[in-house]
Structure 1
Amino acid sequence: MTERLERRLGTGDAVVIGLGSMIGAGVFAAFAPAARAAGAGLLIGLAIAAVVAYCNATSSARLAARYPSSGGTYVYGRERLGDFWGYLAGWGFVVGKTASCAAMALTVAAYTAPGLGRAGQSAIAAAAVLTLTALNYFGVQRSALATRVIVAVSLLVLAGAVVAIGVAGDPSASRLSPFPGSGVLGILQAAGLLFFAFAGYARIATLGEEVRDPEHAIPRAIPIALGITLVVYAAVAIALLLQLGPTALGAAADPVAQAVPSGLSPVVRAGAALAALGSLLALVLGVSRTAFAMARDGHLPRTLAAVHPRHGVPHHAEIAVGVVVALLVAFTDLRGAIGFSSFAVLTYYAIANASAWTLRAGRAIPAVGLAGCVVLAFTLPLSSVVSGCAMLAVGALAWVVRTRAR
């Protein structure tokens, strides 16, 4: 039976869920492929990604205040641009962030069991997905509390890592030479890969139907979460580059653990796993809510719109997402998951900015955000662009078939 979700979350809970989505695999995994693409120029890429993320956050906040219901840009695109664009945004979000869930789970495995082979790490990743799916099943309040603890521990570990590198490491500005170390294309590619790490504020918007006073809470929560994340990312990126240099950073599977003194490495590995678990926890929550909203409108199987009579969560959608991600980790690697997810999420935010443009107030920010999303999406690695376009084509074809059938 389809029902409305309960409004249980406050502004602080929404901020923590956003932080739990952003401060995770982005810190511990995305800097390595970004360094391979741009060298020390990843710092410029980080700034570009932050500007695009800010525009997207502002557009999302304006739209969330107008349409405070589950679904995020799926709802905004439908209301402002038409059913097809809302559907395409929802399709891109569900498919792309399912890949993000796989990336988070694989990061957990890479940091906790670096010596295991692919099969062993895939098993650990699948176990992490299924465990957190079970936690979400028993209620969003319990998930928000767990995320709050995870974010606090993760921030302490990252702060300790940056301080340890500065005090006991061997940081040197000479490792940044030559700067930026890459051309424009490499920097833009790094920005697209790093954007993957900033996308967590979407989780706040997709919880619009479960946040108290969403017209005020969501616009406050998004910039707070984004600002905290940018400060953390910049500090970690600079510390890693000064300690390892672009070449070693690009080659490292676990760069933060390698950059700190050896005695601190086990703590960093535990913190990396915990941070990635925090991202995975919030991502499964957000993807299931978008699937719930699309199912409620008939774009996905109706059974996914069921709400648990006791726990008040879309339990069928959560189980479906958890099972799909647990299967996906057996067939993809971390870099591929990040690139594919980035393309899909940039498409999602391009539609969000186009939707915000129709509000007519303050059009400069959505215009910059839309242009930034398109440029970053099509400067990603070619494999990510091709697979992303194929994903959009499959979604569009499904829309045409379903519409004609009706």
Structure 2
Amino acid sequence: MTTSPGASSQALSRRLGLTDAVGVGLASMLGAGLFVVFAPAAAQAGSLLLVAVVVAGLLATANATSTARLAALYPESGGAYVYGRERLGVKWGHLAGWGFISGKIASCAAMALTIGVHIAPGWSQAVAVVVVLAVLALDLQGIQRSAGVARVIALTVIALVLVFVVVLLTSPPVTADTPPPTPPGSGGVLGVAQAVGFLFFAFAGYARVATLGEEVVEPRRTIPRAVAISLGIVLALYVLISLALTHTLGAGWVAAREAPLAEAAEISAWPWLGPALRVLAVVAAGGALLALTLGVSRTVLAMARDRHLPPSLARLDGPHHLPRRAECVVAGFIIVLVVLVDLRGVIGFSSFCVLVYYAVANASALTLPGSPLLRVVSALGLLGCVAVAVLLPWQSVVTGAVVLAIGAFIGWVRHTTRE
């Protein structure tokens, strides 16, 4: 039975507890980025890769602090779109929502292609399309099943990656070739900043819980705890991975790889870890894609409710009252990008858009009452997001700025004509 817009049943059901929410956050961060971003980040940061990981983690922590405060106050679907709308005005909320949708659709395309490359490199696009359709089918079955899958994937990733780190540190691989030198032109403030931008792609899933605000039980208590737990686990894991890779093989070797974790495992004392990590990369990227499409569709839902997007996308259908139309539209755009995307370029574009999104979130948090320390954290988060965004490779900056400008112009014109 189809529910009509405006009915009381249009409210999403609250079925996610703390364990489910942490699982969604972990699966969002432990996806494609974990297996692909260390190579481009090492190419930019060189021997300062660990510094870039720590800086990215600190920026994510500042963003998470602001996001958790806002999510507790506004436990609705939409994340920074809702926060910007309520604290800064409709125009800024629209910019945040447009940035989230644009950046995360690009992230979804990158995740799908990552799966395709690991399964069948010669047929990566076809495999990616099939994966997107499969994820859509799971999304349409209801969020509880998706959260359960995410939790299992996250635990598996953590366990196997920890084994990989221990093996690499205790039995360093011996390579026949001379270790590649540090990538030319890497390092320095600019190199670290650009590496932070790439690594942000791997960190950015921590706020996925906030975009599912209407479906979380006791959101004022659950959301901040879930964000803090998932982010802390992932930051520790990324630090260990960067230490293991750079200490045993060097930044030059990492920068020259396409799949640094799997390739490092293949030359380790336990070479069977290589194929296992390749399989895990497919599973983890699929789990992250599953969680991310949920978050994007919920932001589409929130913007459609405010008529920044076609109102038909706000319709909830089926026995579980899910935004099936929004989910189908998001999947369609992902499929379009799958056949056009370049992995490194789309990661940069995604990071630029999402950094703008979190800049709006931090600016919104600055308007909240609170201690001076919390205001400093929000201010540093805002400045950090803006700085890292503008220092990304120029292609990502230009493309992202154009896309956001078009979306902002359309949204602001619509807002002005409706006033």
TM-score, L = length of structure 1: 0.95
- Cα deviation code 1:32-62 (max 9, x no counterpart): 1101111121211111111111010000000
- Cα deviation code 1:118-155 (max 9, x no counterpart): xx101111111110111011100010011111111111
Which residue does 1:334 correspond to in 2?
343
For 2:135 and 2:111, the matched residues in 1 are separated by: 12
Deviation, structure 1 residue 225: 0.6
For 1:300 and 1:12, the matched residues in 2 are separated by: 32
Does residue 206 of the first structure (1) align with residue 211 of the second (2)? yes
For 1:192 and 1:243, the matched residues in 2 are separated by: 24
**Matched residue type, 2:55:** I
Which residue does 1:318 correspond to in 2?
327
- Cα deviation code 1:237-270 (max 9, x no counterpart): 1112223321221121111111013332111100
Deviation, structure 1 residue 286: 0.3
Which residue does 2:172 correspond to in 1?
169
Moved more, 68-77 or 359-368: 359-368
Structure 2 residue aligned with 1:92, among 82, 95, 99?
99
Which residue does 1:363 correspond to in 2?
375
Which residue does 2:111 correspond to in 1?
104
- Cα deviation code 1:358-400 (max 9, x no counterpart): 0031311100000000010011011000001001111122123
- Which stretches in structure 1 are left out of the alignment for 5+ residues? none
For 1:157 and 1:106, the matched residues in 2 are separated by: 22
**Matched residue type, 2:162:** A
Structure 2 residue aligned with 1:44, among 32, 43, 51?
51
The 3-state SS of whatever aligns with 1:169 is coil
Structure 2 residue aligned with 1:160, among 144, 163, 167?
163
Which residue does 1:185 correspond to in 2?
190
For 1:291 and 1:95, the matched residues in 2 are separated by: 11
- Which stretches in structure 2 are left out of the alignment for 5+ residues? none
For 2:335 and 2:26, the matched residues in 1 are separated by: 23
Deviation, structure 1 residue 329: 0.8
Which residue does 1:349 correspond to in 2?
358
Query: Conserved in 1, the CA contact under 8 Å of 2:44 and 2:186?
Result: no
Query: Conserved in 2, the CA contact under 8 Å of 1:130 and 1:323?
Result: no
Does residue 136 of the first structure (1) align with residue 117 of the second (2)? no
Which residue does 2:70 correspond to in 1?
63
Which residue does 2:254 correspond to in 1?
249
Query: Conserved in 1, the CA contact under 8 Å of 2:13 and 2:320?
Result: no
Which residue does 1:220 correspond to in 2?
225
The 3-state SS of whatever aligns with 2:33 is helix
- Cα deviation code 1:281-319 (max 9, x no counterpart): 110010000001100110111111111231221111111
Does residue 377 of the first structure (1) align with residue 401 of the second (2)? no
Structure 2 residue aligned with 1:290, among 286, 290, 299?
299
- Aligned identity (percent) is 52
For 1:331 and 1:181, the matched residues in 2 are separated by: 28
The 3-state SS of whatever aligns with 1:6 is coil
Query: Conserved in 2, the CA contact under 8 Å of 1:111 and 1:254?
Result: no
Which residue does 1:393 correspond to in 2?
405
Moved more, 179-188 or 212-221: 179-188
Query: Conserved in 2, the CA contact under 8 Å of 1:127 and 1:326?
Result: no
Query: Conserved in 1, the CA contact under 8 Å of 2:91 and 2:412?
Result: no
1:370 and 1:171, CA in 2 relative to 1: closer, same or farther beyond 3 A? farther
Query: Conserved in 2, the CA contact under 8 Å of 1:35 and 1:246?
Result: yes
For 1:41 and 1:23, the matched residues in 2 are separated by: 22
Does residue 121 of the first structure (1) align with residue 124 of the second (2)? yes
Which residue does 1:259 correspond to in 2?
264
What is the root-mean-square deviation in Å for CA atoms of aligned residues?
1.9
1:171 and 1:53, CA in 2 relative to 1: closer, same or farther beyond 3 A? farther
Deviation, structure 1 residue 401: 3.3
For 1:317 and 1:66, the matched residues in 2 are separated by: 25
The 3-state SS of whatever aligns with 1:221 is helix
1:11 and 1:325, CA in 2 relative to 1: closer, same or farther beyond 3 A? same
Query: Conserved in 2, the CA contact under 8 Å of 1:27 and 1:236?
Result: no
Query: Conserved in 2, the CA contact under 8 Å of 1:126 and 1:326?
Result: yes
Query: Conserved in 2, the CA contact under 8 Å of 1:165 and 1:171?
Result: no
**Matched residue type, 1:184:** V
Deviation, structure 1 residue 112: 2.3
Which residue does 2:148 correspond to in 1?
145
Which residue does 1:15 correspond to in 2?
22
Structure 2 residue aligned with 1:302, among 311, 335, 340?
311
**Matched residue type, 2:53:** L
- Cα deviation code 1:323-379 (max 9, x no counterpart): 110121110111011100000000000000000000031311100000000010011
The 3-state SS of whatever aligns with 1:363 is helix
Query: Conserved in 2, the CA contact under 8 Å of 1:176 and 1:241?
Result: no
The 3-state SS of whatever aligns with 1:144 is helix
**Matched residue type, 2:395:** S
